Chains A and B, each alone.
Chain A
Amino acid sequence: MKELQELARELLAGGEVRLVVGWEDGRRGARPAFVRDPDDAGRLIFDNRCVHNLATYLDPRRDHLAGPGRIALVVTGCDALAVAGLLREHQVTREDLVLIGVRCGGVLETPDLPAPQPLTPETVAPRCHDCPVREPRLVDHVVGEPLPAPPQPAVTLDQRVAELEALPLEERWAFWRDQFAKCVRCHACRQVCPLCICERCVAEKTRPQWIDPAPHPRGTVNWNLTRALHLAGRCVGCGECERFCPVGIPLSLLNRKLQLVVKERFDHVPSDDPAQPAPIGEYRLDDREEFIR
Chain B
Amino acid sequence: MDEAFEPRIVAFVCNWCTYTGADLAGTSRLPMASNVRVIRLPCTGRIDPLFILKAFDRGADGVIVSGCHPADCHYTAGNYHARRRFAVFRDLLEFVGVDPRRVTFSWVSASEGAKWRDVVNDTVATVRELGPFTAWRELAPADATARAGER
Contacts and interface: CB of A to CB of B under 8 A. Distances in A.
B88 A261 contact: yes
Nearest to B98: A173
B107 to A, nearest CB: 6
A214 B143 CA distance: 14
Contacts of B37: none
A287 B95 CA distance: 21
Nearest to B79: A283
Given A210-B54, A225-B96, A292 B84 contact: no
19 contacts: A169-B99, A170-B97, A173-B98, A175-B97, A210-B53, A210-B54, A217-B138, A222-B53, A233-B88, A254-B95, A257-B95, A261-B88, A265-B84, A265-B87, A280-B84, A281-B81, A283-B81, A289-B83, A292-B106
A60 to B, nearest CB: 24
B77 interface: yes
Nearest to A217: B139
A218 B140 CA distance: 5
Which 5 pairs from chain A and chain B are nearest by CB? A173-B97, A172-B97, A283-B80, A218-B139, A217-B139
A212, A279, A283 pick with most chain B CB within 10 angstroms: A283
Contacts, number: 117
Interface band, chain A: 35 or more
Given A177-B97, A261-B92, A279-B84, 16 more contacts: A170-B97, A170-B135, A171-B97, A173-B98, A175-B97, A221-B139, A222-B53, A254-B96, A257-B95, A258-B88, A261-B87, A266-B84, A284-B80, A287-B84, A293-B104, A293-B105
Interface in B82-117: 83-100, 104-107
B4 interface: no
A225 to B, nearest CB: 7
Interface of B: 49-50, 53-54, 57, 70-71, 77, 80-81, 83-100, 104-107, 119, 135, 138-141, 144
A168 to B, nearest CB: 8
A239 B94 CA distance: 22
A186 interface: no
B44 to A, nearest CB: 10
A74 B68 CA distance: 48
Nearest to B138: A217
A220 to B, nearest CB: 8
Interface in A199-223: 202, 210-212, 214, 216-218, 221-222
* Chain A interface helix/strand/loop/mixed: helix
* Chain B interface helix/strand/loop/mixed: helix
Given A254-B95, A280-B85, A292 B105 contact: yes
A100 interface: no
Given A175-B97, A254-B92, A281-B81, A291 B141 contact: no
B61 to A, nearest CB: 15
A138 B82 CA distance: 32
B148 to A, nearest CB: 11
Nearest to A293: B106
Nearest to A176: B96
B88 A173 contact: no
B53, B83, B95, B100 pick with most chain A CB within 10 angstroms: B95
Nearest to B54: A210
Given A254-B92, A257-B92, A283-B81, A218 B141 contact: yes
A288 interface: yes
Contacts of A232: 88, 92
B60 to A, nearest CB: 14
Nearest to A265: B87
Contacts of A7: none
